[in-house]
Every structure is written in C-alpha cells, then in structure tokens.
Amino acid sequence: MTTEILSTHTPELFAAAVHRAADLLRSGAVVALPTETVYGLAANALDAAAVAKIFQIKGRPAHNPLIVHVASRAMAASCVTSFPAVAEKLSRAFWPGPLTLVLPRANIIRPPVPAGGGTVAIRWPAHPFIQAVIRECGFPLAAPSANLSNRISPTNAGHVRAQLDGKIPLIVDGGQSQVGIESTVLDLSVTPPVILRPGMIHAESLAAIVTAISLSGDPGRSTLRSPGQLPKHYSPKAKLWVWDWPHETALAGRLTALGLNPATVHILAHTRIPGGEGFAGVSVIPHDAEAFARALYAELHRCDDAGVQNIVVEQPPDSPDWAAILDRLRRAAA
C-alpha cells in the first residue's frame, strides 16, 4: 500500500487532511495522526475489525489495551459506566491535555480495545488536528502510539514514516509533538487512584485535585494493570545508560572502565557538556523538564537512524517535574 502524507500548515491543507482522515476512519482504515504527546495510530474505537488492524500493524500483544481518544466530556461519558465527580474535576483541570483516565467501561467499548478487561482508558487530546477529526467522525478513536511495538514513540511525521511507511494509507503531518512523551495514565477504577504511567502532568498536580492518590503504586501491581508498563519499553536500539559525571575526563574514564570505546558512544547532556572530540556525537538537550521531554525521543530516533551502538544520558534531577522523564529513561536503559 502507498502511504499518503498530508500537511496541515494552512487552513485549506488542514481542512483537506481532516476530511481525508475522517473518510478513511469511517471506512474502517487505520491512520497516523498528530497529538500533543506523541503521534497516534488511530481507528474507530467502536469498530472491532478496524481496531484489530492496529494490533496487527504494530505487532502489539492482544493483552495490551488501547487508549480511547474523545473530543468532549459527553463523548468521554458515553464510553464509561459512570463519570464520577473526581473524573469530572480532573477533566475540567487537565482536558484537553496529556492526562488519560481509566474508568469502568460502557458496553459500546468492546474487545479488542480494552483487551479483555472491564475498564477503558480515555483521553481528550489537546492537538487541534485530532480534535477536528474526532468531531468530524462523531465517534471516539482508539489510538496507541504510532510506532512498532517496543520501539520509541514518534514525535513527528518522519518518525512515523520510518516505521510504518507502506503499512497504513495516511500519515498526517501536524508538526513536532509539543509534549513529546506519552500521557500520564491515572487509574480511577481503584481506590485510591493509582498512577499507572507518569507523564508531564505530575503526581503533585493531580494530588491538588485527588487528595488520596497512590503516586507510584505497587510496581508489580501496576505492571499487571497496565501491560504497557513492562520494565523494558520505549527503548532505542542502542544500549543506554544514565550517568552523572563531574567532568569530561571522568566520563571518558568510566567508559573505558566498562570497555567501551568513546568513539562508539553518543552523549546526551544538559549541564556538563563534553567537547565533541572522541565521542560518536554529543547532543545538548535543554536543562528544563518540558523542553527535555519534547526533545528526548527525537534524539533517540536520531541515534537509531545513525546506527549508534551506545548512548549515555546525563542524569536528570530527581525532582517531581522530571519524574516522567526518569521513568522513560529507566525503561530505555532496562
């Protein structure tokens, strides 16, 4: 199949791409769409055959449920048995945006979307393109990240194309994803609510609204409840380490001690920036959690494309605003 790539940077192109995407989705096709977190691989959430194609295209295990994307609170409410007061408050504070809420599912949400479970994960994304498509379709969209299973999520249309060219009819180019890592997943189907996946909406922001909240949950339990949270996930092809170093000589010494030739190592630094000589490459990512999240996956994709064998990332701060970044780096290093 040939994969059409549509731009959205003028009102006319935007409208044409919305119509094309909606037509394809109505006909049961799977298309890649921009969201503010990462690009999504979308299908009509109410069409089991269309959703099954997502699992097949990604090579996603059948036991890993999908997030359902909506464009109104009413549409969210139609997907669940009840929309409790806490969900109402959270949605007023953080939707549209990078927060996914897990609630008991209504009967219109059927397998394979919930992967056999009794709950559904729902998100109202902030990106205007996917919002316009959902409104035009009138049905919610099931969409995991638009990467092959176990690879890094795409944050621009080029990343999607590199993994899915020829496998889907359409990729819509909506620019660089502005958040850059996947949404925070909060399970409201249990008491107290549990964060199944940290994201750029931090535990502290959620705690301002949900008083009793289990910040990280029991890792074993949340792995079972959210199969996408297996320790090894979101990985580049290269081996990855997260280190602190006082200066460049110490960094080089540590590499040598591990038997690694610095010429095979790409460095991602934000504070103690080594000179470029001797390393495969050095990327500087801003020392700011929002900017770091936005840039991280693009840097990892670049390393994959360049065939880099080893990546060393400078240790980010251990503070709440960096928690989701630390989580992704831990998984990438697993």
Could you list the residues that contact Mg ion (CB under 5 A)? Answer: 145
Helices (H), 186-269: 203-207, 219-225, 248-257
Question: Burial of 173 by CB count in 10 Å (0-12 exposed, 13-18 middle, 19+ buried)?
Answer: buried
Identity of the residue, 8 or 145, whose beta carbon is nearer to Mg ion in the bound complex: 145
Q: Closer to ligand TXA at the Cβ: 49 or 224? A: 224
User: Tokens for 327?
Assistant: 């989580």
Helices (H), the chain: 11-26, 48-58, 73-78, 85-94, 128-137, 157-164, 203-207, 219-225, 248-257, 289-305, 323-333
Query: Using the rule CB under 6 A, which residue among 145, 178, 214, 235 binds ligand TXA?
Result: 145
User: Least CB distance from residue 15 to ligand TXA, whole Å?
Assistant: 22
Pick what 205 binds: ligand TXA, Mg ion, none; C-beta below 5 to 8 Å, kind-dependent.
Answer: none
Distance of CA 164 to CAs 57, 158, 176, 179, 221, Å?
8, 10, 17, 22, 32
Counting contacts by CB under 6 A, is residue 100 touching ligand TXA? yes
102 binds, among Mg ion, ligand TXA, none (CB under 5 to 8 A by kind): ligand TXA
Q: Which is nearer to ligand TXA, 227 or 320 (CB)?
A: 227
Rule CB under 6 A: say whether 142 interacts with ligand TXA. Answer: no
270 touches ligand TXA by CB under 6 A: no
DSSP 89: H
Binding window for ligand TXA (CB under 6 A); candidates: 22-30, 96-104, 211-219, 235-243 = 96-104
User: Which of 109, 280 has the CB closer to ligand TXA?
Assistant: 109
Residues 200-239 that bind ligand TXA (CB under 6 A): 225-229
Does 141 sit near ligand TXA (CB under 6 A)? no
Name which of 60 and 270 has its Cβ closer to Mg ion.
60
Question: Binder to ligand TXA among 127, 159, 161, 197 (CB under 6 A)?
Answer: 197
Query: CA 52 from chain center: how many Å?
Result: 20
Binding piece for ligand TXA, criterion CB under 6 A, among 78-86, 117-125, 162-170, 296-304: 117-125
Query: What's CA 252's distance to the chain center, in Å?
Result: 33
Residue 192: DSSP 8-state:
S
- Chain residues binding ligand TXA by CB under 6 A are 35, 37-38, 40, 64-67, 98, 100, 102, 114, 117, 119-121, 123, 125, 143-145, 182-183, 185, 196-197, 225-229
